[in-house]
Amino acid sequence: MKNKERKIIVEEKFKIPQIDAKYEGLKKTKPGFERTIAASPYFGSKVKDKLLIPDNKGTVDVDKAYDAFRPKGSKHISDEELIKKHGTRFYDFKILNENKREEVLGVKYEEEKVEEEVVEETDDLSFRKVEPTESHIYYKENEEIKRPNISLNNVEEPKVIIPKVENVVKEEKPEVKLNLGFDISDLEEEKPAVKERINYDYELPPLNLFKHSEISSDEVPDWIIEKKEIINKLLQDFDVDGEVVSYVKGPAFTRYEIMLQSGVKVNKVSNLYDNFQMELGAKSIRILAPIPGKKTVGIEVPNDKTETVYFGDMIDESFVNDGRPLRVALGKNIDGETIYKAIDDMPHLLVAGATKSGKSVCMNTILISLLVKNRPEDLKLILVDPKKVEMSFYEEIPHLVTPVISEPEMASGALKWAVDEMEKRYEMLARAHVKNIEDYNRKALKFTELKHMSYIVIVIDELADLMMTCSSDVEDSIKRITQKARAAGIHLIVATQRPTVQIVSGNIKANIPCRIGFKVASFVDSNTILDEGGAETLLGRGDMLIKDNDLPERVQGAFISDDEINDVCDFIRNESRPQYLFTHADLKQQIAETPTYKDNLNQESEGTIYEVAKYCIMEGQASINSIQNSFGFGFNRAQRIVQILEQRQILGPKTGSTKGREVLVTLAELDRMFGRSSNEENL
């Protein structure tokens, strides 16, 4: 069937009348002109007090445009008549003179007369004789000025005409008193006392004690061009569309930047790691695919000739006087820029690397950077050296809180002292109503009752030895210091050559955001330090990766010799003698008075020990987990009871097997050991 034609009736849609957004309110009739309070300076209050800017672009008649500024009687006068009458077309805008002012405003201008007073000569020496000047003499126009001739023989002085100034009597205002609750007159205005705390006899070590490198030429070595061609040829052989577009030569390695064609996968370059290393004949290379912040892939290849970065090249007078007491120099990056880091910004540092990778030299550069710019009253050091050879240079310098510590137990006591000092400092900050040590020291300069607070930097050269000896105490102190000691001015620098999870635990890493990784043996060690790989491909001898809440930055560490360290420390020792806050004897006494873990073994009651021993005999073996589950003890308590049973030779030593410890006594022997009969009730 054919569709019937349908009539479509288009109806007009209902329209809502729109109101213009610029329209405000209802229209009103145009008000008439009203005189305003503000009067025109030329026409008075008979015209509107408004300004119309004429259009001089030629679109309107200029003569009519200026009519708004003219009186009624002078409108629409031709230019010729205006020029003939007034001498100018726009006479209205001439500066008013006296005649015009009188004509328009009807006011005649009269100058105020100033009475002249003649000061006669007097023999009174207290009268100050004033040399007459033009400002003191009033004369009529075109009148000749007659000045007296003054000579050495003529003692007479001219009469001076001084304008008479009427004495103005000021009205005395009633005194307004504030109700402050006390009399203001009782307060004496005193300037805030500045506390003298600087030992002006102490001099900072001179910078000429450090060696400087020779100026190297800017010529491009031939081996850079050769390696560039090798990389391009290798990319061509493996059908990778890309080529080396630039390179940057650093002190120890050169980074070649490869630009890939559109559509080429980046991992094609990463998969050629072994081929690049073989063709370039390098010990190790590092591939950045891509370079952070760039559109290129980087290949870092060791230089044929390594340039030494001397510590003396990185410090100067501006570094010493930069106002940052904890800013240290670490090395130079691939662009040759010196890398500085502030310890108070870190605020703690973890340094890890294999033996002979440059870790100890890095620790020395940090310490020397602090010593060349800080006085003993501004910086205090706690040095822990379990190896007894790395920190021997710094013995008896005035910056030390205590002599260099080499015993793990003493190191644990020093860390506990730092925790107590941190708590005391926070109480001082709270009483002074400040947030950190910087604000406190600024306030201490104004108020004598506040004592100056020095920075404290704790340096541990080898953490592994401490963790093996007294891990629980050391780890607890390190966690507390790294968590909240920043505002109190206490900072921790920890170094180790064993970056394993047993030494550098997760709790320690979580509170130390800044890490420095030197060459390590495997990817696992690099991941422990930096939470990513890369440290296993470093070259050693100062080559390091610095990670400070950001992507790792490769830096060639500065070199400082033992002779330079000795020279600096000898200079400091000659300037001032050490004033220790506590000695090794104090630490030993503290260790003797503090109950140790072995002393805590005897804190368990005999009844509890007997019950656990009887349980182990009935089970035929002993394990910490079974004791925890059966008696509801915690791990530490269950471990402590097992060690007590081992000391009393009730249980055998730990064998490492999963069966638990061996039980060495029978139930009858256990009863005899505790003086009990077999039928006695167990307590």
Query: Following DSSP, what letter does each residue of 472-492 receive, concatenated?
Result: HHHHHHHHHHHHH-TTTTEEE
Provide the CA 431 distance to its chain's centre, in angstroms: 25
**Domain for residue 30, yes or no?**
no
CA dist 421 and 438 (Å) reads 17
Residue 278 and residue 408 in one domain: no
Output the pLDDT for position 165.
44
Pairwise pLDDT comparison (165 vs 521), residue with the higher score: 521
Specify the CATH number for the domain of residue 298.
3.30.980.40
In contact, 257 and 296? CB cutoff 8 Å: yes
Output the pLDDT for position 96.
55
**Domain for residue 402, yes or no?**
yes
Examine the pLDDT at 5 and tell me if it is beyond 90: no
Residue 429 and residue 501 in one domain: yes
Provide the CA 51 distance to its chain's centre, in angstroms: 55
Output the pLDDT for position 97.
58
Select from 591, 609, 625 the last residue of a domain.
591
Pairwise pLDDT comparison (510 vs 15), residue with the higher score: 510
Buried b (16+ CB within 10 A) or exposed e, 40-57: eeebeeebeeeeeeeeee
List the Cα angle 9/12/13 in 5-degree steps: 120
Examine the pLDDT at 10 and tell me if it is beyond 60: no
Select from 302, 322, 349 the last residue of a domain.
302
Question: Span 81-88, mean pLDDT?
Answer: 74
Specify the CATH number for the domain of residue 666.
1.10.10.10
Residue 462 and residue 373 in one domain: yes
Specify the CATH number for the domain of residue 364.
3.40.50.300
**Domain for residue 428, yes or no?**
yes
Residue 239 and residue 374 in one domain: no
CA dist 324 and 281 (Å) reads 44
* 155-159, 314-318, 416-420, 506-510: least confidently modelled range: 155-159
CA dist 156 and 129 (Å) reads 12
Nearest by Cα to 396 from 572, 151, 180, 217: 572
Residue 407 and residue 297 in one domain: no
pLDDT digits (tens, 9 = 90+) for 248-257: 988 888 999 9
Output the pLDDT for position 258.
92
* 99-103, 120-124, 241-245: least confidently modelled range: 120-124
Report the range out of 4-18, 71-85, 662-676 with the highest average pLDDT: 662-676
Question: Span 411-434, mean pLDDT?
Answer: 91
**Domain for residue 234, yes or no?**
yes
Output the pLDDT for position 106.
62
Q: Which two tokens stand for residue 174?
A: 């009633």
Q: What residue numbers bound the domain in which 99 lies?
A: 62-105
pLDDT digits (tens, 9 = 90+) for 264-299: 999 899 999 999 999 998 888 999 888 888 889 999
CA dist 504 and 496 (Å) reads 9
**Domain for residue 612, yes or no?**
yes
Task: Report the half-sphere exposure of 193 (CA within 13 A, side-chain side).
Answer: 7
CA dist 563 and 312 (Å) reads 13
Output the pLDDT for position 636.
80
Residue 476 and residue 614 in one domain: no
- Alpha-carbon Rg for the chain, nearest whole angstrom, is 46
Instruction: Please enumerate in sequence order all residues whose Cβ is within 8 A of that of 115, keeping only pairs 6 or more positions apart, or say none.
Output: 163, 164
Label residue 122 by pLDDT band (50, 70, 90).
Answer: very low
Label residue 654 by pLDDT band (50, 70, 90).
Answer: confident
Label residue 243 by pLDDT band (50, 70, 90).
Answer: very high
**What pTM value is reported for the model?**
0.60
Output the pLDDT for position 343.
92
Residue 269 and residue 320 in one domain: no
Residue 558 and residue 644 in one domain: no
- The residue written with tokens 């039928």 in the block is 679
In contact, 529 and 499? CB cutoff 8 Å: yes
**Domain for residue 18, yes or no?**
no
Pair type for strands 455-460 and 379-384: parallel
pLDDT digits (tens, 9 = 90+) for 528-544: 888 888 898 898 889 99
Task: Report the half-sphere exposure of 401 (CA within 13 A, side-chain side).
Answer: 24
Output the pLDDT for position 331.
92
Output the pLDDT for position 72.
57
Nearest by Cα to 290 from 250, 245, 322, 324: 245
Examine the pLDDT at 259 and tell me if it is beyond 80: yes
Examine the pLDDT at 626 and tell me if it is beyond 80: yes
CA dist 168 and 146 (Å) reads 34
Report the domain count for the chain.
Answer: 4
Residue 396 and residue 542 in one domain: yes
Residue 660 and residue 621 in one domain: yes
Pairwise pLDDT comparison (92 vs 212), residue with the higher score: 212
Output the pLDDT for position 46.
58
* 292-301, 404-413, 595-604: least confidently modelled range: 595-604
Select from 253, 271, 302 the last residue of a domain.
302
Question: Span 578-582, mean pLDDT?
Answer: 88
Output the pLDDT for position 683.
40
pLDDT digits (tens, 9 = 90+) for 317-366: 989 988 899 999 999 988 888 999 999 998 999 999 988 888 999 999 99
Nearest by Cα to 426 from 483, 352, 474: 483
pLDDT digits (tens, 9 = 90+) for 173-186: 444 443 434 343 44
Crossing angle of helices 624-631 and 606-619, rounded to 10°: 120
Label residue 390 by pLDDT band (50, 70, 90).
Answer: confident
**Domain for residue 255, yes or no?**
yes
Buried b (16+ CB within 10 A) or exposed e, 213-224: eeeeeeeeeeee
554: phi then psi, degrees, rounded to nearest 5:
-85, 130
Q: What is the mean pLDDT of the chain?
A: 77
Q: Which two tokens stand for residue 666?
A: 């029978």
Ranges assigned E (strand) in 145-193: 160-163
CA dist 634 and 62 (Å) reads 101
Residue 604 and residue 651 in one domain: yes
Output the pLDDT for position 493.
94
Helical H segments across 55-208, by residue range: 62-65, 79-86, 98-105
Ranges assigned E (strand) in 571-639: 621-622
End-to-end CA separation in angstroms for the chain: 107
Residue 410 and residue 397 in one domain: yes
**Domain for residue 350, yes or no?**
yes
CA dist 522 and 516 (Å) reads 16
DSSP per-residue codes, 620-637? TEE-HHHHHHHH---HHH
258: phi then psi, degrees, rounded to nearest 5:
-105, 125
